[in-house]
Structure 1
Amino acid sequence: MNAPLERFLVLLELDREYNGNEIGHFRFFVSMSLAEPRDGLLMVTFGTSDRADRASAKSVADVEAMRAGILHGMMGAKWERRIPTSEDEPEEDVADSDESLDDGEGTSVGTFTSVGLENVRFLRAEFGYGGGSFRFGPYLRLSDIDDCMIALFMNKSLAEKIKAIHFIGNQYKLAEYGRDGFRIDMHGKCEPNLIFTPSELTDEWRRIMRNSGPFSVRYSEMTPIRLFEPVEASNSLPGRRSTKPNI
């Protein structure tokens, strides 16, 4: 559990396989609050939407000029919210720092684009700190997300298609919720620093959480399931011979 969090994945399993044209516009974002700050990090927001160049758009007109729908391309983004330090803001603003923590999803720390999907049975939102053998901190470890609180935000038409929600960290299944284990409501809001058109927003935001509150990852309540089978190392060395001297 002390391994770096190379990948944290929230996987939506839909109630059937859909053609990309049936999905059309979509937006799916995840807000994860840590139980306690790690190197100043309080919250991570990450997610994905259609229109591959949405993150670079400066106006609604820019977005409308892009091809819409999951079939024609996807994008993703990630933001981190950290505790302000004296180096981040002037002293006169320190008194207002608690209030400022509630403004926006944080600082953008990366975006990506990808090709579209012709057929859709699963949709994913993910982030991580995969860096091969060399990583420059600060970064989260798998153990740091223990007892975190998670809420999902997406458009209404997508929310109504969900069969199950899966949470995966590195190569471990951390939790799974079937349709009777979560609720869809209109409370709360998600306002990622991205531009959506008025037409897209007619498919209103919905929030998804457990029936009893936010989703959570609690290792004390649910044992992670390893998603890979260990492989024994091969050994071509001859058997070890006794070196006990003859008497």
Structure 2
Amino acid sequence: EQPARDTMAEASSVVPLVVTPEYGLVVLVGVAMFLLQQIVLVLPVVKQRISTGIKAPTLYPRDGQIKELKLAPYQVENYMRAQRAHQNNVEFTSVFMALFLVTGLFPEVTLHVALAGAWVVLFRLLGGVGYLFGVRQIGSLFHLGELYILYLAATQAYALATPALPGLLAACSSAVAAMREAAPKDLDEVKAGAAFAYATALDSLKTFQAEVLPKAMRREL
């Protein structure tokens, strides 16, 4: 096991974290994503909550609540659109933001990540605002920037991990060999162990039926 660890340590190399000036663009795009989520797409929801009387924490009102508030169909539709646009962006940003910021740390692709992120923000904005007015087709173009960033993340991660792969494979081989060495050599050992476990479980069940269960029943009575 120790030689495998030594091999893995030799194969791995410390990669210094160098934040280039271009990473500032990545952070600015991240700020734009935050403002889009927390201001641009929140304001329509606040406006609709005020006009309809639907209060937090309700996300989507039930039929009974709609009748109680005496909401017209167009009011319900406007509220639903605003809430869906906001909720959809919450779900996307929670997954995308971390990958975006981490991928931008690789100096070789920092500028590419920033530009792709700006593309994503632009079409998330158009998609979110467009959804409020019933236009959904425009926003789907953000996937181009999203997939490009995913590609950059995968290629950079592979390049970073490649030197460690031989050591990792050696460690896995060593672990498999150790497991085989510790495994029972004889089928009779396996059978004996299974029989012991079964007998122990059976004794515990008999004890429960004979002692614990009658006491519990008497307490109930």
Indicate the TM-score class for this superposition, using the shorter chain for normalisation: under 0.3
- Bigger CA radius of gyration: 2
TM-score of the superposed pair, with normalisation by structure 1: 0.22
- What TM-score results when the alignment is normalised by the length of structure 2? 0.24
